[in-house]
């Protein structure tokens, strides 16, 4: 990292030239100019290292995408029955796995919406406020539109993940992400 | 822009009248407002009003930078030892203990060592350091060697100091009476009577009862 010349303005404590000084003294020079000097080799190796890190990151993202596509669509799952859910009511269900809680809201007779319950800010569960036409996140006063899931107030910037709903007679089915 | 080589700093303690103008001027500097980088030391306050202004001597081999474990003290090509770099200084006090002139002071509130940098913001653009510009008796003088030679014909500048086995040359010069004989200063020498070439101050400290670890209680 250092430029080992005897041109430095700072004298060595024992008076011997810089080339005879221990390595630590040459690695940590007292002269400002020598301290700030970066050799071409160091600069290049730093650039190569950082660029490779970026390239690896990109490859990782590509790999993740491929893996996600191969995993396929989440399965159809019955999540509620229309007869048990009056208009204006909401319920929670787990989809696509048991660890992911979602919320289903019946807005009108034949209009239902379902969203992942995790707030897009810091994953607190959102609470449907049907009369106010919004989802409320109590953690940081976040607010999402009840019909679209778009953020309307507070810290969240991304919409809630929406789940496609199919109706088959009385059955309410979750059919992947919209 | 570096500090011009022909402009030099001279400290003349004989002329110091202890007015504290330098301390006040230093405190008002914008780069370290409220903190003075110069101190006024009393030689022996009970017996004499004599004071000495202490600025950084800007050594050619700065001991403070040598001992800094955080690589925070740097010396620019014009020979000015800069104050500790804020992001690097770890407030370890090594420089405070190591400096033979007692210049660096630890600012514990800010966890930062701050020392005189010869008003680098001023001297690097051709101005005088704050303290030298206000000193009414010119005990702190900033100018060329020719000027000081003409102004103080009975004094001579000294830039080599010996502390025990350490010889230090400095950028800042100390004015002494022209015919005076310089005396070396050696703290450990006063404690340990016999010294030879193999003298090791750290080992010698073990021989002195008061300095030995745990020896002060006995």
What does the pLDDT profile of chain A (178 residues) look like in tens digits? Answer: 444 444 556 788 888 888 888 888 888 889 998 888 888 999 999 999 999 999 999 999 999 999 988 877 788 889 999 999 999 999 999 988 889 999 999 999 889 999 999 999 999 999 999 999 999 999 999 999 999 999 999 999 999 999 999 999 889 999 888 8
Structure tokens at A37: 């000097």
| Residue B211 within any structural domain of the chain | no
Choose, out of A13, A33, A34, A36, the residue to mutate when testing the contact with B (most B CBs < 10 Å).
A13
Whether A103 and A145 share a structural domain: yes
Q: Are residues A61 and A97 in the same domain?
A: no
Report the pLDDT value the prediction gives residue B70, as an integer from 0 to 100. Answer: 93
Angle at B215 between CA B209 and CA B218, to 5 degrees: 105
Residues A48 and A90 in one domain: no
CA distances from A112 to A75, B31, B191 (A): 19, 65, 92
What residues make up the domain containing B159? 8-205
Q: How many domains in chain A?
A: 2
CB-CB neighbours of B73 under 10 Å:
26
| Residue B76 · residue B2 · CB < 8 Å | yes
Same domain, A99 and A154: yes
Establish if B160 belongs to a structural domain.
yes
**Radius of gyration of the CA atoms of chain A, in A:** 30
User: What is the chain A residue with the closest CA to B71?
Assistant: A28
Asked if residue B31 is part of any domain, the answer here is yes
The confidence score (pLDDT) of residue B216 equals 43
**Is residue B212 a part of any domain in this protein?**
no
Q: Is B165 inside any structural domain?
A: yes
CA distance B115 to chain A (A): 16
Return the structure tokens found at B21: 């103008």
Of A41, A71, A101, the position where a domain reaches its end is: A71
Domain of B22: which CATH number?
Answer: 3.30.70.20
Coil, strand or helix: which one is A109? coil
Q: Domain containing A166 — which CATH number?
A: 2.102.10.10
What DSSP letter does each residue of B162-211 carry, written as one string?
A: EETTEEEEEEEEEEEETTPPP--B-HHHHH-S---TT--HHHHHHHSTTT
B217 part of a folded domain: no
What residues of B are in contact with residue A33 (Cβ under 8 Å)?
76-77
Instruction: Check B77 against A31: CB less than 8 A apart.
Output: yes
Q: What is the pTM of this model?
A: 0.63
Q: Do A32 and B73 touch (CB under 8 A)?
A: no
Looking at the fold, whether A89 and A145 belong to one and the same domain comes out as yes
Closest by Cα among B196, B161, B177, B208 to B60: B161
Residues B178-200 pLDDT 10s: 988 887 776 666 655 555 556 66
**Any chain A CB within 8 A of the CB of B77?**
yes
- The arithmetic mean of pLDDT across residues B49-75, rounded, is 93
Enumerate the residues of chain B whose CB falls inside 8 A of the CB of residue A28: 71
- Nearest CB among A11, A33, A35 relative to B60 is that of A11
Say yes or no: A122 and A44 in one domain.
no
Burial A93-130 (b: 16+ CB within 10 A, else e): bebeeeeeebbbbbeeeeebbbbbbbbbbeeeebebee
The one-character DSSP state at B51 is: E
State which of A71, A99, A132 marks the end of a domain. A71
Q: Tell me the average pLDDT of chain B.
A: 87
Pair A161, A86 in one domain: yes
Please give the angle made by the CA atoms of B52, B54 and B57, to the nearest 5 degrees: 130
Say if B23 falls within a structural domain.
yes
The CA distance from B84 to B79, in Å, is 15
User: What's the domain count of chain B?
Assistant: 1
Residue A4 has what pLDDT?
Answer: 44
Structure tokens at B7: 């402009």
Cβ contact (<8 Å) for B71 and A35?
Answer: yes
| Residue of A5, A10, A29 best to disrupt the B interface, most CBs of B under 10 A | A10
Q: Do residues A63 and A82 share a domain?
A: no
ipTM, 2 dp: 0.73
Q: Residues A25, A97: one domain? A: no
Chain A interface test: which of B66, B72, B78 (most A C-beta within 10 Å): B66
Structural domain harbouring A94: 77-177
Q: Is the domain of A37 the same as that of A90?
A: no
Domain end (from A55, A71, A87): A71
If asked whether residues A136 and A48 sit together in one domain, one would say no
What is the token pair recorded at A74? Answer: 């989440």
Determine the Cα–Cα distance for residues B28 and A48; give it in Å rounded to an integer. 48
């Amino acid at each position: 990292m250092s430029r080992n010349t005897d041109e430095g303005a700072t004298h060595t404590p024992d008076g011997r030239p810089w080339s005879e000084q221990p390595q630590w003294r040459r690695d940590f020079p007292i002269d400002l100019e020598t301290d700030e000097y970066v050799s071409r080799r160091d600069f290049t190796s730093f650039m190569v290292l950082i660029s490779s890190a970026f390239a690896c990151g990109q490859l990782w993202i590509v790999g993740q995408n491929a893996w996600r596509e191969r995993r396929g669509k989440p399965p159809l799952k019955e999540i509620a029955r229309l007869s048990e859910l009056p208009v204006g009511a909401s319920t929670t269900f787990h989809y696509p796995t048991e660890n992911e809680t979602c919320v289903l809201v019946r807005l009108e007779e034949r209009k239902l919406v379902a969203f992942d319950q995790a707030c897009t800010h810091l994953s607190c569960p959102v609470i449907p406020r049907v009369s106010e036409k919004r989802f409320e996140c109590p953690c940081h006063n976040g607010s999402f539109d009840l019909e679209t899931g778009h953020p309307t107030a507070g810290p969240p910037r991304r919409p809630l993940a929406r789940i496609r709903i199919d109706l088959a007679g009385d059955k309410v089915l979750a059919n992947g992400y919209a | 822009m570096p500090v011009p080589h022909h402009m030099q700093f001279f400290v003349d303690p004989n002329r110091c009248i202890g007015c504290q103008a330098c301390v006040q001027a230093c405190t008002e500097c914008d780069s370290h407002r409220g903190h003075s980088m110069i101190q006024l030391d009393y030689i022996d306050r009970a017996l004499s009003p004599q004071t000495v202004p202490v600025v950084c001597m800007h050594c050619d081999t700065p001991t403070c930078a040598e001992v800094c474990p955080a690589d925070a003290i740097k010396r620019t090509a014009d020979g000015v030892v800069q104050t500790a770099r804020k992001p690097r200084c770890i407030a370890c006090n090594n420089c405070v203990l190591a400096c033979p002139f007692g210049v660096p002071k630890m600012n514990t509130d800010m966890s930062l060592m701050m020392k005189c940098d010869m008003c680098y913001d001023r001297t690097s653009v051709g101005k005088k350091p704050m303290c030298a510009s206000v000193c009414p008796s010119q005990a702190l003088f900033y100018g060329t060697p020719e000027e000081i030679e003409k102004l103080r014909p009975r004094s001579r500048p000294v830039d080599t100091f010996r502390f025990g086995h350490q010889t230090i040359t400095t950028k800042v010069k100390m004015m002494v009476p022209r015919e005076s004989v310089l005396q070396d200063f050696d703290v450990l020498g006063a404690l340990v009577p016999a010294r030879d070439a193999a003298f090791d101050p750290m080992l010698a400290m073990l021989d002195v009862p008061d300095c030995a670890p745990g020896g002060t209680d006995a």
